[in-house]
Structure 1
């Protein structure tokens, strides 16, 4: 089955993630996004989608990318190591009502894994967008919600991830437009 087509099988999982994200935003949370290489720029793309919606009438929602600040990334990496660059920022910037979204083309990025684990320990909702077979991030269930673009081709992974994060953005807004769906009881 093609990676894009396999998303149909993930529809319920994606909808649950979006609903829980909408609840976190409703409670005052923000989206914190991170990834390496190409996913670092995807993290910035996700953030601008939420912070500055291009569709008139859609609500702007708070989001930040942990990949945007080269000084912080390199400073943390120099002292604490590259595996720590996202976790260290999360410990300083995150609150329990927030959402951590980690991006990895193969699910094997140690710093993304460490960031998701730290976020979960801090009480954040954690979402992983992964590629290939999901790697150890999916296998070890370090995120509350995982969606895997099932291909080893990083270019296709990127295209599937773009589709997924646009779906995340759209469904979060759909939940905002439906009265009563953002109460904790509705999430069960």
Structure 2
């Protein structure tokens, strides 16, 4: 069995329709695969910290006999970007519970590719920009009271349950093979990667964090650079900056 989530609970009520059900299934499958590969789930909710703590507890302390205790941590300090930056490892998952207007969460999501992590954003009302997160689980109801009514809790309870449904089918947990038929893949070799400056250096070089780790990158084309700045890296050289709006 590969690639398809088995039948699970039918999700029809509380504003969770067919599209959101599909988003939940896809996010759960990816989350199960990351956990199977050794990932930790890092949870942030700057405006609603109890949600971050609740998500972490759901995964660490399962209530159903026989289900796995999965590594999850709530980060609840004043600077989500700094806390996530020092906590995550490549392959981990960051889950945020926040509105689309939350600048700190948007900054975390924007940096995630440089840290090599998968992102999942739960929220309501106006949606984040397309591509802001790998997975978006969203309730379109604009009611500002929604975060306190249980809608978010339902979403991450279902996420937890469906993740464990995947664990019941080990054939689902292997990552699909990435195939490239050419000896040198032109598309892959020409792809820019996101990097975050760790420390600027002398001679037009800087230490930059990418999904592959810390790299020495030539910054001649974009100098001066500062720690925390996002760059597009190609062939060992920074070719452009990414601003706080995610634009090159």
User: What is the TM-score normalised by the length of structure 1?
Assistant: 0.81
Contact conserved, 2:46 with 2:80, CA < 8 A, in 1? no
Q: Cα distance, 1:5 vs. partner?
A: 2.6
Structure 2: segments with no counterpart, 5+ residues: 1-12, 179-248
Backbone CA RMSD of aligned residues: 2.0
1:103 corresponds to which of 85, 97, 107: 97
Aligned positions, number: 166
| Structure of greater relative contact order (alpha carbons < 8 Å, 6+ residues apart) | 1
Partner residue, 1:15: 25
Partner residue, 1:37: 47
2:15 corresponds to which of 2, 5, 8: 5
Name the stretch that deviates more: 9-18 or 167-176: 9-18
1:166 corresponds to which of 143, 157, 160: 157
Q: Cα distance, 1:14 vs. partner?
A: 1.2
CA distance in 2, matches of 1:9, 1:22: 20
Structure with bigger gyration radius: 2
2:109 corresponds to which of 89, 106, 116: 116
User: What is the TM-score normalised by the length of structure 2?
Assistant: 0.63
Contact conserved, 1:120 with 1:143, CA < 8 A, in 2? no
Moved over 3 A (4+): none
Structure 1: segments with no counterpart, 5+ residues: 68-72, 75-84
Contact conserved, 1:102 with 1:115, CA < 8 A, in 2? no
Greater share of strand residues, 1 or 2?
2
Greater share of helix residues, 1 or 2?
1
